[in-house]
Every structure is written in C-alpha cells, then in structure tokens.
Structure 1
Amino acid sequence: MRPLIVLAITGSIAAVRSFDLCRELCRRGFDVQVVMSGAGTEMITPQAMEFASGREVITRIGGKIEHVKFFGKNGKASLLLIAPATANTISKIAMGIDDTAVTTFATVAIGTKRPVLLAPAMHRPMYEHPIVIENLEKLRSKGVRVISPLEEEGKAKIACIEEIIFEAERALSHKSFAGKKVLIASGAFGEKIDDIRHITNTSTGKLGAELARRLGVEGAQVKFIGNGPVESGIDAIEEHYADGLERKVMAELESGYGFFFCPAAIPDFSVKKSIGKASSSKKISIDLIPREKLIGKVRKKFPRLRIVAFKAVWKKRRNEMEKICREFVKNSGLLAVAAIDLSKFTPDAAEREMLFYSAGKKKILKGTKEKIAREIIELCSRQKN
C-alpha cells in the first residue's frame, strides 16, 4: 500500500512549484492529497493540483470532517507536508489557530503526533522577524520538522524539490541504518595515459548516487567518494582516477565505518603512464598491468567491515552469475554482492536487472536504478546485524 502524504499549500508565490512537487511525490511512490488555503488557491488553481494529484482538492473543511478523516486517531494519512508555508500560516499553527483548511489539518496532525514538515517561503525580512523565528522554534519543540529555505536575492526561497522529497522520505522511513557510518565509492574511474589523456569506462555513477540518497533517507551517516550525480546534501569527495580513489577510500576507512558499498567502476588494469604529452605522429603501445582489487585490499586491512560489492559480467547465464556471486561473497567475506550482465543493458538504460546474493540467498532485482537501490538497502538492512 502506497503511503499517503497530505500536501498543504498556502499563499506564497512559491506555490507555483507545488505542481511539480506533487507530480514528483507521486512518481516516487506516494499517494498525494492536496489541501489548500484560500490564499493558496490564488497562487495556483485547485484544478491544476487535482490534475497533479489525481484527487479532488480540499479547500475548506466540510461535513466529511476531512481533517479527522486524514489525521484523526485512525486517519489514513502518513505525513503532513506544508509547502510552501508562509509566515502567516506558520504563526497561526504555532498559536493553535485553525481558521483555514491547512491550519486545521496541522492542528489535528500535531495533536495526533503525525509527522509534520514545513517548507517556509517568504521574503527574508519576514523570515528573520523575531516572532516568526520564535514560532518556528516553538514548532520544532513540538516535533515539527522545518526544511530550511534557500536564502538568496533577499528572499527565503522554498527548498528545492529534491530536498523536500528527501525529508519526506526520511520522515517516513524505518531508519534501518540510523547511527551507522557508511562509505560509498562510486562512479567511472580512469587511468592516465600521459599528463593530459586518460582511458575510462561508461559508468554513469547513478546507482551509487541513488544508494547514497537512500542510505541518507534510512538515517545513515553517509560519505561518498567518486563522481556521478550525487545530491548536494550528501557529504562527497570528488575523484576520477583509480589511484586517487584507492588512497582516499583507505584513508577514510581509518576513521571508523561500519559499512562500505562499492559500486565503483574501477579499471582492472593500471597503465604505465608517459610523461608529458605522447606524440600523435607515431604509433604507441599502452602497457596494461593487472591491478590488485580494491575490495581485496579493504578486506585485508579492515577485517570486520561489512562490505557490499558490485560485480559486472559479460554474457553470462543466470547459473554462471550465481556461481560468480557465491564465490565472491565467500572468498572476500562480503555482506552481499549485486551483479549485472552489461551485455544486456546500456549504461543509461531506464531499467535494468541485477542479481543480489547474500547469506546463501539470491534475488533478482528489476527496475530503475532508484528502485534497485531501494531494494538493495532494504535487503542489506536485514543482513546487517
């Protein structure tokens, strides 16, 4: 059953972004019920939000006592997300005033201790008003989570959609990695041929970025080393070369991590690098020297670290992949491994298939990288203890 989020919209011009926020929440696996204040309906129409959510929009409380239906003791909503939240609405909620559909929903949600998120949006002087600051602190003390706005151009602009959704997902997650330190190495890594050229691979780094995001949602303290479309809120160190990755991973692990996820596309060979710029006027040869695997080095130095590895194969049958995974887990002492046959998928394929193997059990994972990352984290959480 899909979690139900009530998206409450108030009278900020940032309400024009609520349409995209609603659509993205639906895409991420949530059902969305939109509630709007009268001022909110002047910024974006209820008809637009009905189209975005697929549900009739609530603009006033009627005989159906909608606020109780969604946030009463047996209410069906999982979370109240007020985005955008104006200074007026914030202050009313803090004072227990419920004179709009939005503030009435907030009163009931706070009263039944449901998760409530606020995404403020207003001019900066309003956001810095001592009473508004006091009211935000008052709401925080009651368990309301405030998603900090972007302070620029004299305004406290609503946070980006990705951050809002991240906070919503985190509020509803099981916190299966709460308090755990997790290091992720991800991306495409190259080998220098000379001082200006290098060879690399076609990895996009998207799976590692999705793993980092999902682990953050589940409460982990995440550090990311590598490259790829990692979100701005993730603590990340950029690296594009195999030697640099190895040095940074080994150094970072010294600070004490519980888990190491390694979907990094690391070259199997190192290159004997030329000094300067190799001449293009004559034929040259490149010496490829077999490289010691990073997973092996990490395991030797950190024998108690729980490692989740990723394996790329080419044109292997299912039983062959299972054997490869089984031996990899056994020989390297892994928590788990996820393998993919790259002969069947392009790097940017919308959906793919992976074989997940852990503790003698296997599972086929299918879907987008986002979906696969979510499943990998869920499966690893069951094995982590």
Structure 2
Amino acid sequence: MGKNNSSKNIKYLDNSAFSELTDCHPSKDIKGSLGQEFRSKKIVVCVTGSVACYKAIDLIRTFMRHGAEVYVVISKTVEKFMNKEYFAWASGNEVVSELTGELEHVKVANYNTSDLIVVYPCTANTIGKFASGIDDTPVTSVLSIGLGSAIPIIIAPAMHEAMYYNDIIKSNIQKLENMGVMFSTPVMEEDKAKVAPIDLVLSQSISAILSHATSINPIPSQVETNWNFFCKNEVDRLSDIKDKDLLFYFTNKKIMISVGSTIEYIDPIRIITNTSSGKMGLSLIKQSLKYGLDVTIVKGMTQIDEKFKEISSTRFNNRLQIIETKTTDQMAEAIVRELERTNYDFVILAAAVSDFKPSTTSEKKISTDNPSLQLNLVPTIKIVEKVKHIQKSTFLVAFKAEYRVGIQNLLTRSWHKLVQSRSDLIIANDVGLEESVIGSDTNKITALDRERNYFDFPPDKKDGVAENIFKLIYFKLHQSNT
C-alpha cells in the first residue's frame, strides 16, 4: 500500500489502516485528558446545515477528551457556513463530505465499525428524510446504514421553536424514537429550539454506549467482554498516607453521608426493606470526624441506632448533623434539600436504598382473611442520579452491592452505575462473599473510578475499609492536583 493510499484511508473506518495512522495527528494529543469513558470506542459525528454547526467542533473535542476516536460526516450545506477543514483539524481525521465509489457510508456505519452515531446539530430536513428513509446526503445515508446495523444513534435537533413543535416534526421524532433512535432535547430560548448542551449529549452518549454493550450480551458471563478494566497497584501505596496528611486535607471540609436502609410501606404496619445494618455508614462517619470534616448524616433505618445516639452525644456534636428518614422518598427529599442549601465537598451515598416500592399503599391494615395478596412493585427514585445535577463539583462516592456475580460483572455493573450517576468513585462489594455478608463487621471492597481503573482491597474490619476509602479519595484528588 503506497503512502498516499494509506493517508487516504484515515478517512474511512478501515481497521487495517488505523493501527498505525489514527493516533499520529497532533490534534489527538487531547485524547483521554478528561477521562477514559470512550477508550477504544469509535464515534461518528454527523453535522447538518444549521447555523449551529460550529458547535459540533466542541462536541468532537469533548468526545476525544474522554478517549474516543471521532470521525466526521457532513452535509454539503454545512460548507456554506464553515470550511470542512475545521472538522478535520478538530478530529484529526479527514472528513466525509460526499459519497464515492469507496462507499464511505458503509465503511463508517456498517456492522461493528462504529460504537455510536451522533447528529449534532440536526435540522428538521434531515429528521424528515431519515424518518422517511430518504438517503440523498452523506449524513442520511450514514443514518440509514447505522439504523440497520443497530448502532446507537443520538440526534440533537436545532431549529426555530415553532418548527420544532410542528406536528409533522413531532410525528417524525416519535417515529424515530419508536425505532430506538435517541433525541437530545433542545433548549428553548429566544423562540429557538437551540441544540442541546454538550454536557447533556456527553452523558447520553456514555449511557448509550454502555447500554448497547450490555444489551447485546445478555448472558452475565459475557458482559465483561465489552469493557476493559485496569487493575491499579496503588493500594499498597495508600498505607504510606498518614493520618496527619488526611487531617490537613479534610479539616473543615463538608461531607454528607447517607446510611442505613429505607423502608417502603405496604400498609400502615407492613413494609418492604432490606437487611442493611448501617455499620459501614457508621464507620465512614467516625473516620470523617477523625479527619476534621463537618458531617451531615442522612440516616435511614439501622440495626445500631444506639451507636448513632452515642456518636451524636460526643465532643464532635458541634460538627455533626443527623437527619432522620424512613422511606426512599424521604431520604431523597432530605438529600436534595441539603444539596440545594449547602455546598458539600464530598457526598458518600452508603445507604442501602430500596430499589422498588408498592405502586399503592393501603391506608388500612390489609386483612389476613384475604386468600392471597399480590403486590405491584414500581422503581423508586434514583437518589444517586440527583447529586451531580445539583452540585456538579462535589466529589461523589456511591456504593454498589451485588450477590455472587464475579469480579468482572461486579465491575461492569458498577461502571454502569458510575456512568448513569456521574459518580467519581464506586465502592463495590459482593455480599455473597463470606467476608462481605450484610450486617457483619467486615467487608471486602473494590473501588472503580472514571477511567475504569479499579482498586481491589483485601478484606478488613469496616473501620479499616472506611479509612481506605478516605485514603483513596485523598489519593485521587491529590494525584489530580500534582
């Protein structure tokens, strides 16, 4: 293969040509600088002829900063607004602006060639053509192939507000949504349906790739093959971190910790709950106070209420606030209220929140004379997903408990939760293991970060586990600032 041919192939998703050429462009120096959520992933960004097309540059660069290899396909009308070389610079790859005998649309959107297609911005014209099966531009042809190849597709519309609310446009959007196409809701300002913020599209994109990877591998033993996780050996280095370092770093910072379990009422007497004891949460609180933090506890139901009474009556009580809750809704309301009125440096959600609740609650005790009782359960609110919507800058640590799933599936399910909630760390444990049984005094945790690095800790008393969690938080933040 000659030099010119090789260079030309950068434009297409020809994997044989990528091994040596895709990482050579200087524009790719930013890859992974903000995270590795898209490590080894290929994203096609389609740009249509909207005046907002210049905003696609920032989206392309954002995807790259999170680890993606990005390929750009544009409609011909885009070049009326800006030169396609801007997109070549942004992505580090040549731009597809016309279809030739090389079948560019097939090469970028055929089976297993790309992980995601994002149209940003997308005009009403392109939405209509896509919904009607018209393939007369590079973008609509890529979308047609991508839909047939079951590649996740996200569309971010941009147009005048009145046009967006046109019944034909709404019908086309509904039609595409019924086919599995996702839409990023535009921002309504100045009589315009302005293209969705990049943060929203980024979040949707991470979720789309993750959900797609999981859905095509429903067998648990195969789930982990879609995501690579990287074992870090820094666990031993955490022992070098001294209490004085932690005290100096954490003193006078604010932390909110949720602990215990929640209950959901069937009737005024009967409930649904879980067997969480609150011991892990108590250990986290003790370590927080030890390191000088101001602590807000959002407490559910625990098996050790007397321990919480003891800690609230100690010399630390001027740095301690306890908010009592019972149900998931009450806990969610308390956490949201606190986040809206106080800036927290750290939030650790260690409570075992009920995932489901009865769809209706009987106001009276259900009679035991009933020959049978059927409960219709519905999902509860996802508290963890509220935190970053209110306080983007807080360092969020969430917990993920599984039962006898194996390390790879534990990591994959934890990664899914991390992405959905935008957590900074997930503390995962398999409660099917002897050393991690719910209610015991010991725990074995695996911590997962945003770069898919995981830290596997040996079994320990829960006070020791809590100490390691704070050391890891310190290590992650101190590392990012040096």
Q: Distance in 2 between matches of 1:60 and 1:338?
A: 47
Q: Distance in 2 between matches of 1:136 and 1:303?
A: 36
Of 262, 267, 276 in structure 2, the residue corresponding to residue 253 of structure 1 is: 262
- Is 1:142 equivalent to 2:179 in the alignment? yes
Look up the SS of the partner of 1:5 in the other structure: strand
Name the structure with the higher strand share.
1
**Correspondence 1:1-385 to 2 at 5 A:** 2-73=40-111, 75-174=112-211, 201=251, 253-254=262-263, 266-268=288-290, 288=316, 307=399, 332-334=441-443, 336=445, 338=447, 355-357=455-457
The Cα shift of 1:63 comes to 1.5
The Cα shift of 1:332 comes to 4.0
Structure 2: runs of 5+ lacking an equivalent: 1-38, 216-249, 265-272, 295-313, 327-348, 356-397, 402-434, 461-467
Look up the SS of the partner of 2:151 in the other structure: coil
Q: Distance in 2 between matches of 1:79 and 1:38?
A: 22
Q: Which amino acid is the alignment partner of residue 107 of structure 1?
A: S
Scaled by the length of structure 1, what TM-score is found?
Answer: 0.55
Taking a change above 3 Å as real, the CA distance of residues 27 and 201 of structure 1, as seen in their structure-2 partners, is: same
Look up the SS of the partner of 1:171 in the other structure: helix
Taking a change above 3 Å as real, the CA distance of residues 34 and 202 of structure 1, as seen in their structure-2 partners, is: farther
Q: Distance in 1 between matches of 2:155 and 2:447?
A: 37
Look up the SS of the partner of 1:107 in the other structure: helix
Taking a change above 3 Å as real, the CA distance of residues 141 and 332 of structure 1, as seen in their structure-2 partners, is: same
Query: Could you say which residue in structure 2 is the equivalent of 1:279?
Result: none
In the alignment, is the contact (CA less than 8 A) between 1:7 and 1:33 conserved in 2?
Answer: yes
> What is the aligned length?
261
Q: Which amino acid is the alignment partner of residue 85 of structure 2?
A: Q
Taking a change above 3 Å as real, the CA distance of residues 241 and 102 of structure 1, as seen in their structure-2 partners, is: closer
In the alignment, is the contact (CA less than 8 A) between 1:46 and 1:57 conserved in 2?
Answer: yes
Taking a change above 3 Å as real, the CA distance of residues 152 and 333 of structure 1, as seen in their structure-2 partners, is: farther
Q: Which amino acid is the alignment partner of residue 142 of structure 2?
A: F
Q: Which amino acid is the alignment partner of residue 44 of structure 2?
A: V
Note the alpha carbon deviations across 1:31-50, whole angstroms, 9 max, x for none: 10000001222233211111
Taking a change above 3 Å as real, the CA distance of residues 105 and 300 of structure 1, as seen in their structure-2 partners, is: closer
Structure 1: runs of 5+ lacking an equivalent: 179-199, 204-239, 272-285, 310-327, 340-350, 373-385
Look up the SS of the partner of 1:59 in the other structure: coil
Q: Distance in 2 between matches of 1:160 and 1:300?
A: 31
Look up the SS of the partner of 1:25 in the other structure: helix
Q: Distance in 2 between matches of 1:52 and 1:83?
A: 14
Q: Distance in 2 between matches of 1:22 and 1:149?
A: 18
Q: Which amino acid is the alignment partner of residue 116 of structure 1?
A: I
Note the alpha carbon deviations across 1:4-37, whole angstroms, 9 max, x for none: 0100000112211111110010010111000000
RMSD between aligned residues: 4.9
Q: Distance in 2 between matches of 1:258 and 1:160?
A: 41
Q: Which amino acid is the alignment partner of residue 90 of structure 1?
A: I
In the alignment, is the contact (CA less than 8 A) between 2:118 and 2:154 conserved in 1?
Answer: yes
Name the structure with the higher helix share.
2
Aligned-residue sequence identity (percent) comes to 28
Look up the SS of the partner of 1:76 in the other structure: coil
Q: Distance in 1 between matches of 2:124 and 2:167?
A: 11
Taking a change above 3 Å as real, the CA distance of residues 293 and 152 of structure 1, as seen in their structure-2 partners, is: closer
In the alignment, is the contact (CA less than 8 A) between 2:262 and 2:354 conserved in 1?
Answer: no
Taking a change above 3 Å as real, the CA distance of residues 369 and 38 of structure 1, as seen in their structure-2 partners, is: farther
In the alignment, is the contact (CA less than 8 A) between 1:9 and 1:37 conserved in 2?
Answer: yes
Q: Which amino acid is the alignment partner of residue 193 of structure 2?
A: A
Taking a change above 3 Å as real, the CA distance of residues 55 and 334 of structure 1, as seen in their structure-2 partners, is: same
Look up the SS of the partner of 2:143 in the other structure: helix
Note the alpha carbon deviations across 1:245-295, whole angstroms, 9 max, x for none: 55xx55x83456899998999434799xxxxxxxxxxxxxx954699999x
Note the alpha carbon deviations across 1:191-229, whole angstroms, 9 max, x for none: xxxxxxxxx8476xxxxxxxxxxxxxxxxxxxxxxxxxx
Q: Distance in 2 between matches of 1:65 and 1:46?
A: 19
Taking a change above 3 Å as real, the CA distance of residues 300 and 308 of structure 1, as seen in their structure-2 partners, is: closer
The Cα shift of 1:69 comes to 1.0
Q: Which amino acid is the alignment partner of residue 89 of structure 1?
A: T
In the alignment, is the contact (CA less than 8 A) between 2:251 and 2:293 conserved in 1?
Answer: no
Q: Distance in 2 between matches of 1:114 and 1:270?
A: 46
In the alignment, is the contact (CA less than 8 A) between 2:274 and 2:352 conserved in 1?
Answer: no
Q: Distance in 1 between matches of 2:321 and 2:457?
A: 20
Look up the SS of the partner of 2:63 in the other structure: helix
The Cα shift of 1:51 comes to 0.8
Taking a change above 3 Å as real, the CA distance of residues 84 and 307 of structure 1, as seen in their structure-2 partners, is: closer
